[in-house]
Structure 1
Amino acid sequence: MTTELKPYHLGLLWHSLDSENLGMGALTIGNTNLIANALAKHGRKPVLHIIGGLGRIDYADESPFDSDFVNVGYKSLLTPGSDLHRTIRKCDIFFDIGGGDSFSDIYRLKRFALIIGSKFAAARTGRPLIFSPQTIGPFLTKKGRMAARASLRRAETVFARDVPSFEVLKGLGFEDRSRLTTDVAFALPFDKAPDKKARDLSQGPIKVGLNVSALLYRRDLQVGDKIALALDYQKLTDRIIARLAEDPRFDVYLVPHVLSPELPNEDDHAVSLAVQQKYPHLKIAPRFTGPCVAKSYIANLDLLIGARMHATIAAISSDTATFPLGYSRKFTGLFGTLGYPHLGDMTSEGEDVVMAKLEAVLADVPGATAAATAANARAQTILDSYRNYLDELFAKVFA
C-alpha cells in the first residue's frame, strides 16, 4: 500500500507553465522537479502556485504536479483582497526565480517594478523567501541598485547561477546569504536520441540547429530595453547561414525557442519563417508544445548555434555541442562558470571575431561535443549545491 504524500504549497514567483518563452518553462519544470525530490524525503508533494505573467501556451502536462496560476499586475499588487494576495497567503514557502534574468534594470522599467513589488508582497507573509538560481543584475541605475538591495534584504537565501552574479551580490553586501550554483534547466528531463553516439561527425551528415532570436533580429520593434550589440545581428545571421551552406556535411534546421505570434518582436517562429523564405534550403523545426519537447528535439541535433540562452542550455545539458551567441552578461557568466570555451560575445566582439570562433567549432564538432559533455558534468556537480540546500531547508522546516 502506497502512502499518499501530503501537499505542501509552493509560491513560485516568476515561474511559468504557459510562457511563450520556453526557457521560462524549462526553469519552472527543472526547479519544481528539484524541489519535489527534496520534499518527497519528508512525505510531501508540491502544490504549485505560479505567480507571474500570463502566457498563451499550456504545457502543464509536462509537469506531474497540481498547479494554478495568478497574474501579477500593478492593480493586483496594490489590492490586498485580490486573487494575487489570496494566492500568496496560501503559500507555505516562496521560490522566486525572477524569470531567469529579469532581476535587473536592463529590461523595461514596468517589468522590473513588478518583479520587485512581488518580492515585497511575498515577504510580508513572514514565510521563507528563497531566490532560486538566476542571473543577478546588472543594475545600471542608482534606483535599480536601491530596489535590489531592499528586496535582497527580504530573502532567506539567494542563489546566483554564475560567478559574475555572485560578485554582484558580494558588491551589494549580501555575500552572507548568497550561494553559487548553475541554471536549474540543467535538471529539465528529455528523451535521448538512440542513434546519436553512432553518428560520424567527421564525415557527416551533421545536424545543425540555428536558433534565430526575434528579440535581436527585430531590433526595429524593441522599445525600452538596454541591449547593445557590437555587431549587426541580421548580417551575422546571414553570414552564418552562408557559411553553413558552403559545406555539404551540414544539414541545417531553424529552431525557434520563443513562440509568441501575438508579439512579432519576440516570436522566433515568425522570424524563422521569414529567414526560411530568404533561404529556402533551410528546414524548420515543428512548433514545440513545451520545453521538454523542445529539449528532446535539440538533443537530437549535433550542434546548436543560438541566441536564446535556454535553447543553448538545452543543447549543452543534453551533451550536444553548442555555439551560444551572447547578447548580455548572462551568457558569458553562465558558460564561463562552466568552463565551456565556445561562445560568441556579441556585446563586445564584431562579426569577424564571432565568425572565426564559430569556424573553430565547425572544424571540430566532435571536440565541441566533448567540451559540452564535460561542461554538463560540471554543471550537474555545481547544481548539487542547490540540491543540498533544498535538503537542508526542508529538514529544518519539517524537523
Structure 2
Amino acid sequence: MRILLAWTDETSPNLGVRALGRGSRDLLNQIWPDAEFAYMNYGTKPEAVTWSPRGLVREWVTGRRGMRDWLGGFDLYWDTRSGDSFSDIYGLPRHTTMSMIHEFAARSHVPTVLAPQTIGPFGSRRSRLLARRDVNRSRLVLARDPMSAKASASLGRPVDLTTTDLVFGIHQPVPEPGNDVLLNVSGLLWRSPHHGDPLVYRRQIESVIDGLLARGRSVTLFPHVLDSADADNDVPVAIELQEKYDGRIGLVIPRDLEHARAVIAGASVVIGARMHACLNALSTGTPAIAMAYSRKFAPLMSELGWPHVVDAGVTEDAAARILAAVDDPLLSEQALRAQQRGQQLLAAARDLIGSMR
C-alpha cells in the first residue's frame, strides 16, 4: 500500500502542517500497518510535479514530466489541503493548484480522499466550480467541523463523515514539565491586516501578558511556526516581545513537532492564535484558549465541546475573556473531556477509511 500525503510534510516550519502529516501517518498506519508514505508539499516538491496551473494543463497534454505515471504509482491520494486551504482565503492560485493536482490524481485512477479539514469558504464562482469538482471526484470527503460539512453539501456532495482534526490521531508525548502558561503569538496576525487589526491584536497580547504577570503566573512565549525566510513565522515576534518585557517572560523555541508536543503536554495552559498550537494542546489534555482569526476555529472547537475561543485582532475585551478562562477552576477537567471527544470522533473516521480496504 503506497499512500501520497498531499500538502503536508515532516519538515515544514509550520508545526501545524507537520501535525497534519504525523496525524495522517499514525491514523492510516492503524488501518494499513505496512503502508509506505510519500509527501508532497510546497517545501517538498517531487520532481515529476509542477505547481503552475498552466504547467499542469501542459503536462496533461504532453506527459513530458511523467506526472501521471508518478501519481499512478500510489494506491491512495490523501489530500489534507494543509488543513484549511480547501478555500480561496489564501488566494485563488493556491486553491487552483491544489484542485488541479487533485484532478490529476483522480484522472490517474488513484482513489482520492479529502482528509479531515476545513471546507470553504469559497468567495468566487470559479473557486466554487473547482471545489465542486474536487468533492464529486473524491472517494471519501471528511470534514473536521459541521460548518465545513454544510459547505460541502452546498457543493452538491454531502460529506461521508464529520469528524475532527487529525492531530487527535497522533500518539501521546511524554510531557516535558517546567512551564506554566505557554503563549503562542502569531507572526501573521502581528504584522498582517488581512485577518484582523494588528494593532488591536498587539494590545490584546500585551494585556494578556500584563494580566498573567499581575496574577503571579509564569509566562513563556512559544512559537508554533518556526523561523524561516517566510515572513509568516512566529520566532521574530517572540524574541521582540521577550526583549520588551526585559526577561520577565520566558521563551521556548521548539526543535520539532515532538519537542513542541512534549512541552505543551507539560504546561498548565496554552494561549494561542495558531490553531494547531491549541489543537496540539487539547489532543494531549492540556487546556488551550484559542485566539481565532478565521471561521475554522469556532465550529471545530464547538464540536469538541470546547468553549474557550475569542476573536483575535477584533475586540478589545478579548484579553479579559482570556484571563477569565485561565482563572476557571474547571479548565483542566474540560480539556480532558475535549481530548476524549476528539479521540472518539477520529476513531469513527478510522473505521470509515478502513472500510475502503
* TM class by smaller structure: over 0.9
Please state if 1:294 is matched with 2:260: yes
- Work out the CA distance in 1 between the residues paired with 2:47 and 2:118: 24
Match among 323, 348, 356 for residue 385 of structure 1:
348
In the superposition, the TM-score normalised over structure 2's length comes to 0.92
- Work out the CA distance in 2 between the residues paired with 1:378 and 1:11: 28
Match among 163, 172, 190 for residue 181 of structure 1:
163
Match among 62, 70, 74 for residue 87 of structure 1:
70
Contact 1:20–1:55, Cα closer than 8 Å, also in 2: no
Contact 2:117–2:144, Cα closer than 8 Å, also in 1: yes
Match among 222, 229, 236 for residue 262 of structure 1:
229
1:339 maps to 305
Contact 1:16–1:53, Cα closer than 8 Å, also in 2: no
Match among 171, 195, 218 for residue 251 of structure 1:
218
Residue 363 of structure 1 and its aligned partner are, at CA, apart by 1.7
Do the aligned partners of residues 236 and 292 (structure 1) sit closer, same or farther apart at CA in structure 2, a change above 3 Å counting?
same
1:202 maps to none
1:49 maps to 38
Please state if 1:73 is matched with 2:18: no
Name the amino acid aligned to 1:183. Answer: D
Query: Which residues in structure 2 correspond to 1:1-399 (within 5 Å)?
Result: 8-40=1-33, 45-54=34-43, 72-74=50-52, 77=56, 78-79=58-59, 80-82=63-65, 84-175=67-158, 177-193=159-175, 207-219=180-192, 227-228=195-196, 232-248=200-216, 250-264=217-231, 266-280=232-246, 281-286=248-253, 288-346=254-312, 350-352=315-317, 354-364=318-328, 366-394=329-357
In the superposition, the TM-score normalised over structure 1's length comes to 0.83
- Work out the CA distance in 2 between the residues paired with 1:137 and 1:235: 30
Residue 36 of structure 1 and its aligned partner are, at CA, apart by 1.2
Contact 2:184–2:274, Cα closer than 8 Å, also in 1: yes
Do the aligned partners of residues 70 and 82 (structure 1) sit closer, same or farther apart at CA in structure 2, a change above 3 Å counting?
closer
Residue 108 of structure 1 and its aligned partner are, at CA, apart by 2.2
Instruction: Output one character per residue of 1:300-332: Cα deviation in whole Å (capped at 9) or x when no partner.
Output: 110100000000001111111110000011110
1:200 maps to none
* DSSP-derived class of the 1:393 partner: coil
- Work out the CA distance in 2 between the residues paired with 1:230 and 1:241: 17
Residue 355 of structure 1 and its aligned partner are, at CA, apart by 2.2
Residue 29 of structure 1 and its aligned partner are, at CA, apart by 0.8
- Work out the CA distance in 2 between the residues paired with 1:254 and 1:359: 16
Contact 2:92–2:127, Cα closer than 8 Å, also in 1: no
Q: 5+ unaligned residues in a row in structure 1: which ranges?
A: 1-7, 57-67, 197-205, 221-225, 395-399
Do the aligned partners of residues 234 and 84 (structure 1) sit closer, same or farther apart at CA in structure 2, a change above 3 Å counting?
farther
Instruction: Output one character per residue of 1:320-363: Cα deviation in whole Å (capped at 9) or x when no partner.
Output: 1110000011110110111111111337x5121x2232122122
Count, aligned residues:
351
Q: 5+ unaligned residues in a row in structure 2: which ranges?
A: none
Residue 178 of structure 1 and its aligned partner are, at CA, apart by 2.8
Name the amino acid aligned to 1:257. Answer: H
* DSSP-derived class of the 1:99 partner: helix
